[in-house]
Structure 1
Amino acid sequence: MRTIIKRTVMAVAAVQGATLLTLVTIDMYRKRGRTPAIFPRLAPKVMTAGGSEVTVYTYGEDLYRDMLHAIHLAKREIFFETFIWKGDEVGQAFKDALIEAADRGVEVYVVFDEFANLVVPRSFFHLPPHIHVRRHPLVASGFRFPRNSGRDHRKLLVVDHDAAFVGGYNIGTLYATDWRDTHARLTGDIVWDMRNAFIDYWNLFADDKRRKALPDTGSLTWQPYIRIHRNMPRMMVYPIRGMYLEAIDRASHHVYLTHAYLIPDEDMLTALIRAARRGVDVRIIVPAESNHIVADWLSRGFYGQLLRGGVRLFLYQKAMVHAKTATIDGQWSTIGTANIDRLSLLGNYEINMEVYNSEVARQMEEVFTIDSSNSVELTLTDWQRRHAMVKFSETVLTPLRPLL
């Protein structure tokens, strides 16, 4: 019996390996012939939410222009944190701006993830000694799973007490024009919360010798309209998943999600289907072809359940949609870094803005409508007609879902 089990496991692993190799080969060939992306987008729009202002960005060039402008205006402190930081033209522009700020006396703090930037030359990250740097390590010291696990998947910028940026955009030339993503600029009361989010992460890894702790001060204002949620593996705190589940459970009219990678756990899948079955209009935009073909195929394993449950799926065309957003019932919205998958919701360092505001919700609904115009709806009938070999490959990859 042991021999039979061992051979069966080895056979399944071999089939999985062959399937993954085939998908990666197809993806490499597909990317060679990719043309520049063209997709509809909205100009940035400023909205008021309580004592704060929210500006929503859907195009990288618009966002990078305003981020760099904010850095140039900095007088005291800059907190800059990113998952991917490419050593290309856009990446160099940010590097130059941060160095220039430090040279004129601004205290500059930089965090980036080592694993996400393995393909970037190490020399690009040689920053002057008067810039404070935290490289989120490739492998954390000490075996304390899950406290020492998780990538730093956050993307944020805070300049003085004046402005903060958060959302899905990494830093690089590709993302400036060829990816459809969503980011937000925040001013007013909520900037303290964004500053605090960076300070808390930094101080988790501070010591008296190499990396001194930042001052941690309380806030004079409690923000009722916008909240910042942070997944912190070191503290075993993962509120973003709960935020989504609570919001979907409250929905009575519509739920519009846009996500780069849709690999929901059982509770998230159940919440979406239950909402649809009680009459809520649940729609999800995902990329027709993302930058991670394996993630695409793992995601497709959920399409049948979602479609049978009444959830409507829309496949974004001719560009990578990398947004991590949702808007519900014309009242609630979120923009952030967390995908609907286990890595984001129960693994990585993530940060999401949650906002209760009808004006912001209307803007997010307009973004969703424009993105829908560049999408093709996938019906259950179309999905059931896919080739038998495709169905087999999806089944073979099912055991890998918990890894993402």
Structure 2
Amino acid sequence: MEQFYHFLTLAGLAFYWILVAGVTLRVVLKRRAVSVSLAWLMIIYLIPFVGLIGYVLFGELNLGRKRAERAKEMLAPFTQWFSQLDDCHAHAPEHFGRHIYRIDELCNNRLGLPALSGNTLHLQRTPQEILNSVIDDIESAQHEIRMMFYIWHPGGLADAVGAALIRAAQRGVDVKLLLDSAGSPRFFRSPWLGQMQEAGIDVIQALEVSPWRIFLRRLDLRQHRKIIVIDNTVAYTGSMNMVDPAFFKQDSGVGQWVDIMVRLTGPTVNVLSAIHCWDWEVETGKREFPPLPECKLSPDQAQHPVQVVPSGPGMPEHLISQVLTLAINQANQSVRITTPYFVPSNDLLETLKMTAQRGIRVELIIPHKNDSLMVQWASRAFYTELMLAGVKIFEFYGGLLHTKSVVIDEQFCLVGTVNMDMRSLWLNFEVTLAVDDEDFTKEMYELQQGYMNQSHPVVLQDWAERPFYYRFLERTFYLFNPLL
């Protein structure tokens, strides 16, 4: 009997090391950033068994067979729909500013998606302003409402939005609601799901979390977009989930979440509607396209070109990351960034350092306290390197600064759902707007200045005197930064 157990032990060890060897080969042969491969190898070898399971669950971009097949088949027809926008008057690259011109080239060549002029944009800064505006637009809806969020958390004004949607559905408006399964568990356990379905609202769980599928699809691949489209005439996107901050994560110790949304009218609305159609088809297999926008512009109408930049499985890889790098590299005077989660790739890190080193003012505003301690410590691992290059870092003390924004030269900006981490830039379904509208950009810059007024600058000399255990935690979580 003892010999039998001895044999089982040896056989188990042999099987384990065969698995380790196989996964090691997979990691080495998989084309990706070297830092990501090294981080996975470290985890696999330093944390026996758990590292292997972690790689199976989170190591590769696995959307699931059905969704992956759909996404692959969808690219050509959606690219064809996008490419029709090239022929409308709203696509006028000869009138584009220098910042958006190159971004239009990139997105047009990779996805067939051009920047479009003739938009109006309104920056909404408070949850009350945002949610009341959404309710008013829902009450005015006549035909169709499309909504998509990572988080829907019942409570406060979010419930008023839900009630407005139910009333809209009861008067015959077609309402489609797509919510991420992992981000909105409280909604799916609440009475709101049944009430909405009873009213005729089509509610779909995106990337459903199920114990039966944990080895079939990557669990941390999430639907992170925030989009509302009403009658293909009004749209919203930005950083805010469908939550009332006064009723959301009150016990997390980071304060209320601080967010923005952008309310749009004009041809870009139809593009955001098409992005919702893309995600709807990924989940349901049902294909719909919005109508092509009215693209006639009067000669005296302001241009205000906007480039919608989507990313995620099935779409051209790293498109938002490329747009971000291209925008920062075009800066002549200043770059100011707000982000809740700052764990940059090596490429983005070098871009920020090089921009500061060529004399551009680079300012980074991030929350002092974060709802993810791992991200908080990993972010701080980059402080010294950035400050030595000339980047100015500010820690925000007014809550969890969740706004995702980049302002270039006080003339051009990026705003949307994208965090400055590799999960957002490489993995999740995300969307950002590249906006060539100087008045709107000045509003965004002033908002960022307000955030800076509630922040403390990180001083290099003081930072160098931080305790040893700070440095230990920073370096520990820095090793995991490609996976955060």
Calculate the TM-score normalised by the size of structure 1: 0.83
Query: How far off is 1:78 after superposition?
Result: 0.3
User: What is the distance in 2 between the residues matched to 1:9 and 1:339?
Assistant: 24
Q: What is residue 449 of structure 2 aligned with on the other side?
A: 369
Equivalents in 2 of 1:195, 1:9: separation in Å?
Answer: 41
Match of 1:192 in 2: 270
CA contact (8 A) 1:180 1:319 kept: yes
Instruction: Give the Å deviation of 1:190.
Output: 1.7
What residue number does 1:357 align with? Answer: 437
Residues 51 and 9 of structure 1: is their aligned pair in 2 closer, same or farther, counting only changes over 3 Å? closer
Partner residue in 2 for 1:86? 153
- The answer to whether the 8 A contact 2:181-2:209 is kept is no
Q: Any conservation in 2 of the 1:84–1:170 contact (CA below 8 Å)?
A: yes
Q: Which residue of 1 aligns with 2:208?
A: 138
Of 202, 206, 224, the match for 1:153: 224
- Are residue 163 (structure 1) and residue 237 (structure 2) matched? no
Aligned mates of 1:382, 1:142 — CA distance in 2: 45
Count of aligned residue pairs for this structure pair: 363
Asked which structure has the greater CA Rg, the reply is 2
* Contact kept in structure 2, 1:87 and 1:121, CA below 8 Å: no
- 2:369 pairs with 1:289: yes
- Give the letter for the 1:136 counterpart: A
- The Cα offsets for residues 332-381 of structure 1, whole Å up to 9 and x where unpaired, read as 10110010101100010011111012112211111111111111000111
Alpha carbons of 1:159 and 1:10: their partners in 2 closer, same or farther (altered >3 Å)? closer
Of 325, 328, 336, 1:248 maps to 328
Q: Which moved more, 1:226-235 or 1:260-269?
A: 226-235
In the alignment, the residues of structure 2 paired with residue 218 and residue 164 of structure 1 have an alpha-carbon distance, to the nearest angstrom, of: 15
| Corresponding residue for residue 102 of structure 2 | none
Aligned residue identity for 1:288:
H
Instruction: For 1:139 and 1:233, locate their aligned partners in 2 and report how far apart those are by CA, in whole Å.
Output: 17
Residue 99 of structure 1 and its aligned partner are, at CA, apart by: 1.0
Letter in 2 for 1:153: H
State which of 335, 338, 347 in structure 1 corresponds to 2:427.
Answer: 347
In structure 1, what is the equivalent of residue 315 of structure 2?
Answer: 235
**Alignment CA distance shift 1:202-1:175 (3 Å):** farther
**Contact conserved, 1:314 with 1:372, CA < 8 A, in 2?**
yes
1:9–1:322 CA distance, 2 compared to 1 (3 A): closer
Structure 1 spans left out of the alignment, 5+ residues: 18-48
Q: 5 Å matches for 1:1-400?
A: 50-120=117-187, 122-123=189-190, 124-126=192-194, 127-129=196-198, 130-139=200-209, 150-174=221-245, 178-207=256-285, 212-219=286-293, 221=295, 225-400=305-480
Asked whether the 8 Å contact 1:285–1:315 carries over to 2, the reply is yes
Q: CA deviation at 1:239?
A: 1.6
- Most deviating of 276-285 and 316-325: 316-325
Q: Which moved more, 1:175-184 or 1:239-248?
A: 175-184
Aligned-residue RMSD, C-alpha: 2.9
Structure 2: distance between partners of 1:245 and 1:301: 21
Q: Are the counterparts in 2 of residues 90 and 171 from structure 1 also a CA contact under 8 Å?
A: no
- The secondary structure found in structure 2 opposite 1:318 is coil
Identity percentage over the alignment?
27
Offset at residue 116 of structure 1 (A)? 1.0
Q: Which moved more, 1:334-343 or 1:49-58?
A: 49-58
Moved more, 68-77 or 393-402: 393-402
Q: Give the aligned partner of residue 23 of structure 1.
A: none
CA distance in 2, matches of 1:10, 1:275: 36
User: What secondary structure is seen at the aligned counterpart in 2 of 1:203?
Assistant: helix
Check the 8 A contact 1:256/1:284 in 2, yes or no: yes
* 3-state DSSP of counterpart to 2:370: coil
Render the CA deviation track for 1:257-283: whole Å, top value 9, x for unaligned: 000111100010011010000000000
Structure (1/2) with the larger strand percentage: 1
Distance in 2 of aligned mates of 1:143 and 1:202: 24
Gap change, CA 1:235 and 1:362, over 3 Å in 2: closer
Structure 1's 291 and 79: CA in aligned 2 closer, same or farther, altered over 3 A?
A: same
Between the aligned partners of 2:388 and 2:415, the Cα distance in structure 1 is 28
Deviations 1:304-333 (A, max 9, x none): 111111100000013111000011012210
Task: Specify whether residues 11 and 246 from structure 1 end up closer, same or farther in structure 2 by C-alpha distance, changes over 3 A only.
Answer: closer
Cα distance change, pair 300–353 in 1 and its aligned pair in 2 (3 A): same
Write the letter of the residue equivalent to 2:237: V
**For residues 2-34 of structure 1, what are the alpha-carbon distances to aligned partners after superposition, in whole Å with 9 as ceiling and x for unaligned?**
9xx99x9799659xx9xxxxxxxxxxxxxxxxx
1:169–1:175 Cα contact (<8 Å) kept: no
Q: 1:387 to 1:119 in 2, by over 3 A?
A: farther
Secondary structure of 1:395's partner?
helix
More helix by share: 2
* Gap change, CA 1:221 and 1:10, over 3 Å in 2: closer
Does the 8 Å CA contact 2:320/2:432 hold for their aligned counterparts?
yes
CA distance in 1, matches of 2:402, 2:154: 20
Given that residues 182 and 325 in structure 1 are in contact (C-alpha distance below 8 angstroms), is that contact kept between their aligned partners in structure 2? no
User: Which residue type is aligned with residue 193 of structure 2?
Assistant: F
1:43 alignment counterpart: none
TM-score by length of 2: 0.70
